[in-house]
Structure 1
Amino acid sequence: MKPLHIFKPGQHVAMSGDSFNFSESDLAATVRAYDPALHEAPLVIGHPKHDAPAAGWVKSLSAAAEGLVATPAQIDPAFADLVAKGSFKKISASFYHPDSPSNPVPGVYYLRHVGFLGAQPPAVKGLRPIELAEGEEGVVEFADFGHETSASLWRRLRDWLIGERGLEVADQVIPDWQINSLTEAARRDDEPRTSFSEPTPPATVEEPPVSPEEIAAMQAENERLKNQVKQHQDLQRKSREEATHSANVAFAEELIGAGKLLPKHSAALVAALDFADSGDAPLEFGEGDERQPVSDGLKAIFSGLPERISFAEVARKDRREGNHGSAAELEFAEVATDPDRLNLHARATALAAEKNIPYESAVRQLINQ
Structure 2
Amino acid sequence: MADDQGFRPDWAQKDFYAVLGVGKDASAADVKKAYKKLARDNHPDAHPDEPAKLEKFKQVAEAYDVVGDPDKRAKYDEMRQLYGSGGGFRGFGGGGGGAGGGSFNLDDLLGDRARGGGGGFGDMFGDLFGGGGAGGRRTQQQARRATKGADVETSATISFTDALDGVTISLRLTSDSACPTCSGTGGKPGTKPHICPECEGAGFVVQSMGGAFSINETCPACGGRQLVYDEKCPTCHGSGRGTSARTIQARIPAGVKDGQRIRLRGKGGAGEGGGPAGDLYVAVKVRPHRVFGRAGDNLTLDVPISFDEAALGAEVTVPTLGGAPVTLRLPAGTPNGRTFRVRGRGATKADGTRGDLLATVQVQVPAVLDQAAREAVEAYRAATADKPLRAGLFEEA
TM-score bracket for this pair, using the shorter chain length: under 0.3
How does the TM-score come out when normalised to structure 1?
Answer: 0.22
How does the TM-score come out when normalised to structure 2?
Answer: 0.21
Whichever of the two has the greater Rg, that structure is 1
